[in-house]
Amino acid sequence: MRFLVSTIILIFLQACSQNHQPIKTSPMENKEAKNNPYYSRTDTTKLNVSNEEWKKILAPDLYAVAREAATERAFTGKYNEFDEIGDYYCAVCGHHLFRSTSKFASSCGWASFFEADKEGVYYKKDSSYGMERVEVLCKRCDSHLGHIFDDGPKPTGLRYCMNSVSLEFVPDSQK
């Protein structure tokens, strides 16, 4: 019985993460935008930038998550327990991804949303590590954001489980 409970707990903890080396999130403070010629909150043109170029531009923790599909350790992301009103953008390219009104406390350890900007993200099947999941990527720059699960709240029943390092928050007061 103990083995069964331990197995269930382990599966639950892995359900929202990938088996990559944990990434420690550091505050971005929009550093990437200052050194990134591709960053724009208004340009929606699809980007075709090589990972070699992104590696020169992005901070190592953001590069690992966005370009190599790594993940942050649970409960370490700056937006995990964050509830200000505003919008979330891709930290790599500035593309709009989520509105704060779709964010909810999922207790899974990562920032969670029940709805994404339909023009902001796209989805890809992820069969890595013997799990069947759906990866969420930025529609403009193809950066990994996290995964989507069907155990979220109404009205969608979805849980977008996102890495904070892949997100940039802009409060309504700064628009």
Active site (annotated) includes residue 138: no
Rounded Cα distance between 97 and 57, Å, is 21
Mean pLDDT of the residues in the chain: 86
Rounded Cα distance between 32 and 25, Å, is 14
**pTM exceeding the 0.95 threshold for the entire prediction:** no
Domain boundaries, the chain: 46-174
Topology adopted by domain 46-174: 2.170.150
Q: Which pLDDT tens digits describe the chain residue by residue (175 residues)?
A: 554 444 444 444 444 444 443 433 333 445 556 689 999 999 999 999 999 999 999 999 999 999 999 999 999 999 999 999 999 999 999 999 999 999 999 989 999 999 999 999 999 999 988 999 999 999 999 999 999 999 999 999 999 999 999 999 999 988 7
Residue in 16, 90, 141, 161 annotated catalytic: 161
Quote helix, strand, coil % in the chain, to nearest 5. Answer: 25, 25, 50
> Which pair of tokens denotes residue 58?
């992005």
